[in-house]
Homo-oligomer: A and B are copies of this chain.
């Protein structure tokens, strides 16, 4: 199934397919199929019934539209799906039909299906993430020595390197990906507990069925978690953190790409009416995800307050939340990967923008150099005056300051005051530290 128009900027083709009706139904049926096999291995249902159910379930092709319509009566798509499967099995072998969904509850189906979709979704996202990570590291290395303006509160600060800026993005993206990968692994667990989560309907074979069904699905076996949603919550919050880190990089790129700044540009896209346009459309998709993700996280956390052994409201809210959160995350990773991989950087423009400040960005440096010699008050006053005069006259700050300070300091003290290369501090060491972070 294709992306819908309404959500076309909020997902990727791969993820839209994974969360499509066909795929969702297949995941629900995969649970029923594995449960039947697991129950048969444990001796709880007849082997022939298991085979019939398993094959019928894996054949797919249920009427997903009918199931979606029928879902509201019982507030779950599991009831009509199980009914549809039972009817199909009944056509093949009426006796086997009795053993469909044996010992399970609706949420066992919907939760395990969601987990199976999450397992699938991890693959394309991890692939895009690897592509993004490589692109970021290459970009940072390439621009280890590319000097540019640091900007604080969107105003010129002291110089940095573009390599350092990219390393900062990389660090936050790596940290949050590490957390997300960990949360993702922990979330790949079977949900199976039956009516009230005790496996009572399976007599003394409950845990055996759990183990076998989990093995069939290649999921981890854990105690039922019908109303203890911490693993799912951890996955969605980790998505939120990761998309925030991606969004920060995307915001920076859109700012660097402004015509008036012109220091970097993503490949981007055009306009429906203006032929001259190159828009940061990749970053726009990332930022759209970053706009929505905090709220998806919030909804997920609110939904975690689920009553007793099955929630009334919270649980029923999760599918759209988790589906949207994972797809938004994938859209953001994929789009930023494209933007970074295709980023063009203009070191010349970076330098021109830096020089356009007239050197006033070195005012801090000047104060710190002059303070030990002249005292802080004098240093501050001289520098402040020089900044003001430089702005008024358009003259270079360094020259104005040197003239003003005159003989009061050793002749060469201010010589290279406005050479950005001399005021990069530990930029390069920090850059490599960020890229070789022991935290991930």
Contacts and interface: CB of A to CB of B under 8 A. Distances in A.
A380 B83 CA distance: 14
A71 interface: yes
B64 A154 contact: no
A294 B284 contact: no
A272 B106 contact: yes
A258 interface: yes
A103 to B, nearest CB: 7
Contact of A260 (B244, B356, B387): B356
A367 interface: yes
A141 B366 CA distance: 43
Contact of A276 (B8, B360, B429): B360
A409 to B, nearest CB: 15
A294 to B, nearest CB: 4
Copies in the complex: 4
Q: How extensive is the interface on chain A, given as a class?
A: 35 or more
Given A302-B294, A320-B6, A241 B230 contact: yes
Contact of A195 (B77, B150, B257): B150
A413 interface: no
A426 B158 contact: no
Contacts of A69: 2-3, 8, 13
Given A195-B157, A195-B274, A252-B307, A71 B230 contact: no
Contact of A425 (B150, B156, B199): B199
A313 interface: yes
Interface stretch (A17-25, A51-59, A125-133, A340-348): A17-25
Interface string A97-117: 110011111100100000000
A367 B280 CA distance: 23
Given A251-B305, A363-B275, A158 B240 contact: no
B298 A312 contact: no
A61 to B, nearest CB: 14
A396 interface: no
A7 to B, nearest CB: 5
Interface string A267-291: 0011111111111111111111111
A254 interface: yes
A363 B303 CA distance: 30
Interface string A297-317: 111111111111111111111
A155 B6 CA distance: 25
A110 B291 CA distance: 19
B247 A433 contact: no
Nearest to A435: B223
Nearest to A86: B376
A406 interface: no
Contacts of A230: 171-172, 175-176, 241, 244-245
Nearest to A278: B155
A310 B280 CA distance: 12
A150 B309 contact: yes
A276 to B, nearest CB: 4
B201 A368 contact: yes
A299 B168 CA distance: 22
A51 to B, nearest CB: 17
A182 B372 CA distance: 44
Contact of A308 (B150, B320, B424): B150
A230 B17 CA distance: 31
A153 interface: yes
A295 B286 contact: no
13 contacts: A5-B24, A6-B21, A6-B320, A8-B69, A72-B335, A74-B272, A75-B153, A155-B279, A201-B425, A228-B248, A260-B353, A275-B387, A293-B301
